[in-house]
Amino acid sequence: MILNFYVGVNEVHLVSFSFDKMWGGTMITVDGVPIIQQTRLFGGLVAQWDLVVGVNEPHAVHIEKHRPVFMAGFRAQPVYAWVDGVLVAQGEV
């Protein structure tokens, strides 16, 4: 699953979040450049990532992925993205 959203008004960037349920791999890219790459096989019910996007027009980006308690690999896992505290995108993996 890939969740894409744009950040900025004058300095626009494309942020992409991807997650692989099978291996737990997460990748966050900004304009196609990997910013965060990690693998989490075990973890809490909510995974969170924070980053700042933009140089001349910086924006705080917060991404959360919620995992069900039972059989998480077979159930939908909602993903939410906020920019400067405003929900801008959501989807499921």
Q: Helix, strand, or coil here: 88?
A: strand
Dihedral, CA of residue 26, residue 29, residue 33 and residue 37, to nearest 10 = -20
Instruction: Give me the mean pLDDT over the 84-92 stretch.
Output: 96
Q: Helix, strand, or coil here: 14?
A: strand
Q: Give Cβ neighbours of residue 67 (< 8 Å, ≥ 6 apart).
A: 43, 44, 45, 46, 47, 77
Give the pLDDT score at 8: 96
pLDDT 10s digits, 6-59 = 999 999 999 999 998 888 899 999 999 999 999 987 778 999 999 999 999 999
User: What is the third-level CATH fold of 2-92?
Assistant: Lipocalin (2.40.128)
Q: Is the pLDDT of residue 73 over 80?
A: no
Give the pLDDT score at 43: 76
Give the pLDDT score at 7: 98
